[in-house]
Chain A
């Protein structure tokens, strides 16, 4: 086989997937950008959008106080959701990687991932039963005297928050587990042999080594949560808003594609900025890790 033939074969199998993504995804992303500078055409015209004047009008509208507030609520909800996902996920991932035998791990991971095989929609709907003012949880809490009157969190931002944590918790567990599993148990052993207490070992050895995994899980959870549409639509009612709902409203109901596109662009930019910040954090965390390991040696 000739050398040229061999090199040309290297990229050939990548081509179909790359072309598929270029034609349908990259082009789609570019068209969001293009449309965000257009204007909604009058109802009489065939095309939904005119580009006679390239306009920043959509951005002005998307950045008006009402929308900015919803963007802010979205980032806050996603941020708080991510924080709790990481907080709840870490002990589970830690347990799996340190105290569960290798034979059992795949089964427990399977159980944790399992909910993803059940309709996302109906699982979210189910929370409406659980949280209903006259529902089981409400009555149990009233019986315990923890609340008076029915539970009143359905159709509020709190319900959206809970739904977000519920839906993305498994997504947070996996990357943290992978990071923790990679840590050589000998490192922890060495730390305790050198006289460190369990807590010192955890804080100075395990936690720094797990930080990249935590940040990765955080980025993933945050992106998914910030772009969510279903949870606020089902659990949020009129008061629980997230930007995904407003974007969907503009595009699916108001038929205002340019405004929806501009709002999507702002979401992308916000996520990019936060992603870059987290990536920088990750680099710093790696540096500190290396320094800590260097100091240990």
Chain B
């Protein structure tokens, strides 16, 4: 059936403009990562020089190393705490559910800047000096809430009869959890882990405040080199990270779709 829908055409044109608006800076970054010039944003010609130069820049390599380690530690914390909480929130509507939801809401709406200031004061106060741990904890506060929400959404879509059956058949609770609940939650856990990793990997504000000398993350390095003049290697490493995250995002999308399908099957 084909009807004339001038409003629909207008809306589609608008969406195209918005998507263009959202993507233009990404194209600019990708194009300029192939800039031959010494200064990133002054175009002098095409070259892949900076892609090789990334591996000669020790600051990039060491901050990248810090970023990846902090992101992984943050994922480990967020996934464990967030999965436990997410399943419990979906399964049991106890007295503690409301206050907990409130606390989770607080975590989500606290401006990052405010949270970061509090953390730098508090971490210094309690003498938490390990830069890597400070970054990981700082990032995990938000990501625990993120994982909890994603896991909760999946747990709500799957009835708990399988877990109960395992219990009826004599499995101790921890065994039912490990062998039944966790596998069922796996798509949500993986999606949550990927999002938590990306959040941490790209985080500027918390990292800027809680970092210690010698444990800067990559975004903090990029921000600090902005003042001295950005070079092409920064764009090259970001484009490489983009290629990597694209692969991860596709994996996440496929897993979420699988999750949605198995949800409708049960």
Q: Spell out A's residues near B (CB within 8 Å).
A: 1, 7, 9-14, 16-18, 20-21, 24-25, 27-32, 35, 48, 88, 91-92, 94-96, 99, 106, 108, 110-112, 114-130, 132, 166, 169-170, 198, 219, 223-224, 226-230, 233-234, 244, 247-248, 251-252, 257, 260-261, 264, 267-268, 271, 275
Q: Which residues of B contact A257 (CB under 8 A)?
A: 121
Q: Contacts A11-B94, A88-B18 known; A125 to B82 CB distance under 8 Å?
A: no
Write 10 A-B pairs (CB below 8 A) sorted by A numbering. Answer: A1-B167, A32-B114, A92-B15, A99-B12, A123-B29, A130-B28, A223-B109, A230-B205, A230-B223, A268-B114
Contacting pair B11 A121 (CB below 8 A): no
Q: Which of A21, A251, A257 neighbours the largest number of chain B CB atoms within 10 Å of its CB?
A: A21
1/0 per residue, CB under 8 A from A, across B127-146: the answer is 00000000001001100100
Chain B's nearest CB lies how many Å from the CB of A227? 3
Cα–Cα distance between A145 and B81 once the two chains are bound (Å): 58
| In the assembled complex, B222 has its CB within 8 A of some CB on chain A | yes
Q: Which residues of A contact B249 (CB under 8 A)?
A: 110, 114, 117
Chain B's nearest CB lies how many Å from the CB of A10? 4
Chain B's nearest CB lies how many Å from the CB of A44? 18
Residue among A18, A252, A261 making CB contact with B208, cutoff 8 Å? A252
Contacting pair A31 B121 (CB below 8 A): yes
Contacting pair A31 B202 (CB below 8 A): no
Residue among A1, A12, A166, A247 making CB contact with B117, cutoff 8 Å? A247
Cα–Cα distance between A213 and B130 once the two chains are bound (Å): 42
Q: Contacts A21-B141, A31-B125, A127-B25 known; A122 to B117 CB distance under 8 Å?
A: no
Of chain A, the residue at the smallest CB distance from B241 is A119
Q: Which residues of B contact A264 (CB under 8 A)?
A: 113-114, 117-118
Name the prevailing secondary structure of the B interface residues. helix
1/0 per residue, CB under 8 A from A, across B81-111: the answer is 1101101110010111000100100110111
| In the assembled complex, B62 has its CB within 8 A of some CB on chain A | no
Contacting pair A125 B84 (CB below 8 A): no
Contacting pair B87 A13 (CB below 8 A): yes
| In the assembled complex, B226 has its CB within 8 A of some CB on chain A | yes
Contacting pair A25 B18 (CB below 8 A): no
Chain A's nearest CB lies how many Å from the CB of B106? 8
Contacting pair A229 B94 (CB below 8 A): no
Which of B52-60, B185-193, B230-238 sits within the interface? B230-238
Other 15 A-B pairs with CB < 8 A, given A124-B25, A247-B117, A248-B208 = A17-B100, A31-B118, A48-B124, A95-B12, A95-B14, A112-B19, A117-B242, A118-B26, A119-B222, A120-B219, A123-B25, A126-B24, A227-B114, A229-B208, A251-B209
